[in-house]
Amino acid sequence: MNDFLSIEKVFRHFGPLRAVDGVTLQIRQGEIFSLLGPSGCGKTTLLKMLAGFEKPDAGRLILNGQDITDLPPERRPVNTVFQNYALFPHLSVWENIAFGLRIARRPKVEITAAVERMLAMIQLGDHAKKKPAQLSGGQRQRVAIARALVNEPKLLLLDEPLAALDLKLRQHMLAELQAIHAQVGTTFIYVTHDQGEALSLSHRIAVMEAGKVSQVDSPRGLYEAPATSFVAGFIGDANFLEGRVEEPLSHGRLRVTVAGLGRLVVTGHATLLVGQTVRVMVRPERLHLTQERPVLTAGENALPTRIESVTYFGPHAKAQVRCGPHTLHVQQPSGKTLLATDTEGWLHFEPEAARVVD
Ligand code: ATP
């Protein structure tokens, strides 16, 4: 595996607070790697240590074979894009982008060529003479990204760069960021608390909780096979059921008993023991609602249910249903005939839709 950046057992404490508590991560060259977690989980502190604005209390940072742990920020081949753009208000777009190269005393022709290339990449060639105040939020952020990429850093750090933009613009900028990444190929480390942003942008994501890494995987891996209920609940919506392992079955399946629902066939890992208490996670869109008792495939689970409420969201609808003592959330494409509130029906799902997470 090509480990371009190694974060090795890094700690940063503020008094008794363990902001970053023994983080180890291997990041590959050219990937978009996100640090995702709730406010206060330590992602910005970790990013600041990569930039050189914070010093680790312990641990090492190795970039492309070079130990950068003790290097000052200006000597690291690393640039940062912040949420608030941090552009120079008195300089034009052109001068903002050229700034880093001027400081580095690069030759004039080189600066001109690099700035023109960046302006073309962010499609702001026509706005080169404008001041930041004359640009929209999305345009300002594109200038900030161009300014951070113009001197070809090995690593681009992005700290919630889209947080100040409205939803539509944020979605547009995500596509734009991917297009920029495809052009420059620089390794991006992207900090966000927004799971949608991380899922749609990243090659891999580290989910962080209280200074520690909970799980590292691809967006699909995290969504479909979360290792813990924290990850399952943070990435997307999830239903949880507490159960007890009854017997192991073939193909990684298990029979579990859930109070009030009886026996269900779910998916688990080989180390689970008969009698062990487990937590099972089912995504709302993996649950199916029908009026009649469905014809089941092998192992499929079916439960009689009562529909408590249905909410229409355009492309899909969400229902809250009652199965025995449990309330579950179901999501279905709105094209499907939905059951009405206060009617009886059946809820069914495949064993692969229900995974043991804890
Ligand atoms: P957010 O998304 O809110 O920025 P975060 O996950 O990026 O959250 P950090 O900014 O890394 O979290 O902060 C982690 C913890 O460390 C928080 O509890 C924060 O209050 C604390 N912290 C960060 N910097 C300092 C500091 N300089 N002094 C004391 N505590 C700090």
Check if 39 has its Cβ closer than 6 Å to any atom of ligand 1.
yes
How many Å lie between the centroid of ligand 1 and the Cα of residue 81? 18
pTM, to two decimals: 0.90
Query: Do 143 and 62 share a domain, yes or no?
Result: yes
Check if 118 has its Cβ closer than 6 Å to any atom of ligand 1.
no
Alpha-carbon distances, residue 337 vs 224, 296, 316, 331, 334 (angstroms): 26, 19, 11, 12, 7
Check if 42 has its Cβ closer than 6 Å to any atom of ligand 1.
yes
pLDDT at 353 over 60: yes
Q: Which of 182, 215, 232 is the last residue of a domain?
A: 232
pLDDT tens digits along 219-253: 999 999 999 999 999 998 999 999 999 998 888 89
How many Å lie between the centroid of ligand 1 and the Cα of residue 12? 10
Query: Which pLDDT value is given to residue 338?
Result: 66
pLDDT tens digits along 63-79: 999 999 999 999 999 99
Q: Are 141 and 173 in contact (CB under 8 A)?
A: yes
Query: Do 223 and 245 share a domain, yes or no?
Result: no
CATH of residue 61's domain is 3.40.50.300
Q: Are 105 and 95 in contact (CB under 8 A)?
A: no
Query: Do 225 and 249 share a domain, yes or no?
Result: no
Query: Which pLDDT value is given to residue 179?
Result: 93
Query: If pLDDT is split at 50, 70 and 90, which confidence band does 2 have?
Result: low
Query: Which pLDDT value is given to residue 297?
Result: 80
Query: Do 23 and 125 share a domain, yes or no?
Result: yes
Query: Do 290 and 223 share a domain, yes or no?
Result: no
How many Å lie between the centroid of ligand 1 and the Cα of residue 40? 5
As a whole number of angstroms, the distance between CA 177 and CA 124 comes to 15
pLDDT at 336 over 80: no
> Mean pLDDT for the chain?
92
* C-alpha neighbours within 13 Å on the C-beta side of residue 300: 15
Query: Which pLDDT value is given to residue 164?
Result: 83
Check if 192 has its Cβ closer than 6 Å to any atom of ligand 1.
no
Check if 14 has its Cβ closer than 6 Å to any atom of ligand 1.
yes
How many Å lie between the centroid of ligand 1 and the Cα of residue 171? 26
Check if 193 has its Cβ closer than 6 Å to any atom of ligand 1.
yes
Taking Cα atoms as reference points, which of 95, 93, 96, 53 lies closest to residue 76? 53
How many Å lie between the centroid of ligand 1 and the Cα of residue 164? 19
Query: Do 204 and 273 share a domain, yes or no?
Result: no
Q: Which of 232, 250, 276 is the last residue of a domain?
A: 232
As a whole number of angstroms, the distance between CA 243 and CA 239 comes to 13
Query: Do 67 and 168 share a domain, yes or no?
Result: yes
Number of domains in the chain: 2
Query: Which pLDDT value is given to residue 295?
Result: 84
pLDDT tens digits along 82-113: 887 789 999 999 999 999 999 889 999 999 99
The protein residue whose alpha carbon is closest to atom 16 in ligand 1 is 19
Tell me the residue range of the domain where 262 lies: 237-356
Query: Do 80 and 228 share a domain, yes or no?
Result: yes
ipTM of the complex: 0.95
As a whole number of angstroms, the distance between CA 216 and CA 3 comes to 14
Taking Cα atoms as reference points, which of 208, 235, 211, 203 lies closest to residue 222? 235
Query: Do 204 and 297 share a domain, yes or no?
Result: no
Query: Do 275 and 210 share a domain, yes or no?
Result: no
- Joined together, the tokens standing for residue 81 give 């894009």
How many Å lie between the centroid of ligand 1 and the Cα of residue 49? 12
Query: Do 188 and 322 share a domain, yes or no?
Result: no
**Average pLDDT of the residues in 113-134:** 93
CATH of residue 321's domain is 2.40.50.140
DSSP secondary structure of 276-298: -EEEEEE-GGG-EEESSPPPPPT
For 318, list phi and psi in degrees, rounded to 5: -115, 140
How many Å lie between the centroid of ligand 1 and the Cα of residue 39? 8
As a whole number of angstroms, the distance between CA 68 and CA 94 comes to 31
Of all helices (H) and strands (E), which one includes residue 41?
none
Check if 45 has its Cβ closer than 6 Å to any atom of ligand 1.
yes
As a whole number of angstroms, the distance between CA 282 and CA 73 comes to 45
The protein residue whose alpha carbon is closest to atom 23 in ligand 1 is 45
pLDDT tens digits along 209-218: 999 999 999 9
**Average pLDDT of the residues in 147-164:** 93
pLDDT tens digits along 183-202: 999 999 999 999 999 999 99
Check if 41 has its Cβ closer than 6 Å to any atom of ligand 1.
yes
Query: Which pLDDT value is given to residue 299?
Result: 81
Q: Which of 186, 209, 232 is the last residue of a domain?
A: 232
Query: Do 261 and 333 share a domain, yes or no?
Result: yes
Alpha-carbon distances, residue 301 vs 76, 249, 271, 297 (angstroms): 55, 14, 23, 9
